[in-house]
Structure 1
Amino acid sequence: MTLKSHTPNFLSVIRIIVAPIFIYTFTNGLYLVSLMIIIFTGVTDALDGYIARKLGATSDIGAYLDVISDFIFILAGFLAYTINGWYDPLVLLLIIIMFCMFIGTSGLKKPVYDPVGKYLGAYLMLMIFLSILSPKILVRQILLIMLLIICLASVISRFSVFIAKN
């Protein structure tokens, strides 16, 4: 494998590295820096998949690393928001449950995306972005209601796909 073929995984690892930096910047009131980290994370997330496909460097390990790095950053984002009182700690529990369900129904060989659940991570990243962009309580409440709806739809979709495959 060439250095180029490791680029997508390197981009995923960067998202893991910036997760604690986001927690630090957000909880210390550095909201503009936190916003730039969110944007940077979104760009690297989009780039790693694009580069992997373009270079023919896709792999099951890379797919899991991408999902895990997204999960770690999302968890860090909501942990920071919880520390500052923006979201209830139960949101963290919901995110962990949804990730565990994804892993449990995928197995360890290859991630299995249900039609709704593949957008859950993207929505969570968008939710982190919109929460900091418009930090009004009403906005966060609407985002939370939408999260609950997407999670419920994802659970139904995932188990339908899981049952159909087994």
Structure 2
Amino acid sequence: MTIPNIITVLRFLMVPAVVYSLLVGAMWPAFVIFVIAGISDAVDGFIARQFQQQTELGAYLDPIADKLLLMTVFIMLAILGHLPHWLVVMVVSRDILIIIAVILSSVMARPFDMNPIFVSKANTALQIALASVVLAELAFGTTFGDLRWLLIYGVAVLTVLSAAAYLRVWVDHMAG
């Protein structure tokens, strides 16, 4: 197993640690673990590209680890009352719809690689920023006020735009 894949597997293991920290009200550790997970995502990608350690396994594991971490943190923050439920339903529903589209394409013998598009990357970046801001607020007892709401509405808009863009690409693929 390559070093980037080991780092990715460790990121999977950080998910229960973040959940546990949030459940017991240990916000500072939750914030630190989330930041370390984010840094590990950048590090494993850098190592994989720089040292030609890109693998097919890593190509699957990395985005799954990222989504698992983000979705889990979003769901936990909503359950704990720190993110609006409507936003989390939007974000999770979009990801579920993408997964269903990929599976349906495969079942119909029209396999489809859902490659990230710009609006999706921007959406993920805002999701990370939002989770970081909320966790930082909880960890340090501070508030970013308007920034949090700007990120919430930014994530909502980009989630809708991203879902629509993926739907268009998928429908074109299935029709073609």
Q: 1:86 aligns with which of 79, 82, 88?
A: 82
- The percent identity for this pair of structures is 21
Q: Does the 8 Å CA contact 1:114/1:161 hold for their aligned counterparts?
A: no
Task: State how many pairs are aligned.
Answer: 162
Report the CA distance between 1:45 and its aligned residue.
Answer: 0.6
Structure 1 residue aligned with 2:57: 61
Q: Distance in 1 between matches of 2:125 and 2:60?
A: 15
Report the CA distance between 1:10 and its aligned residue.
Answer: 1.5
Q: 1:123 aligns with which of 122, 126, 129?
A: 126
Report the CA distance between 1:13 and its aligned residue.
Answer: 1.4
Indicate how the Cα distance of structure 1 residues 79 and 121 shifts in structure 2: closer, same or farther if over 3 A, else same. same
Q: Secondary structure at the match of 2:162?
A: helix
- Map residues 92-103 of structure 1 onto 2, 5 A cutoff: 92-103=88-99
Q: Distance in 1 between matches of 2:10 and 2:148?
A: 27
The amino acid across from 2:68 in the alignment is I
Report the CA distance between 1:138 and its aligned residue.
Answer: 4.4
Q: Distance in 2 between matches of 1:97 and 1:69?
A: 18
Q: Distance in 2 between matches of 1:161 and 1:94?
A: 20
The answer for unaligned runs of 5 or more in structure 1 is none
Q: Distance in 1 between matches of 2:97 and 2:22?
A: 29
Q: Distance in 1 between matches of 2:76 and 2:147?
A: 17
Moved over 6 A (4+): none
The amino acid across from 1:7 in the alignment is I
Q: Distance in 2 between matches of 1:117 and 1:104?
A: 17
Report the CA distance between 1:76 and its aligned residue.
Answer: 1.7
The answer for unaligned runs of 5 or more in structure 2 is none
* TM-score between the two structures when normalised by the length of structure 1: 0.82
Structure 2 residue aligned with 1:148: 156
Q: Distance in 2 between matches of 1:60 and 1:130?
A: 33
* TM-score between the two structures when normalised by the length of structure 2: 0.78
Q: Does the 8 Å CA contact 1:11/1:44 hold for their aligned counterparts?
A: yes
State which drifts further: 106-115 or 50-59: 106-115
Indicate how the Cα distance of structure 1 residues 97 and 83 shifts in structure 2: closer, same or farther if over 3 A, else same. closer
State which drifts further: 134-143 or 28-37: 134-143
- For the aligned residue pairs, the C-alpha RMSD in angstroms reads 2.4
Q: Distance in 2 between matches of 1:46 and 1:102?
A: 24
Q: 1:75 aligns with which of 66, 71, 75?
A: 71
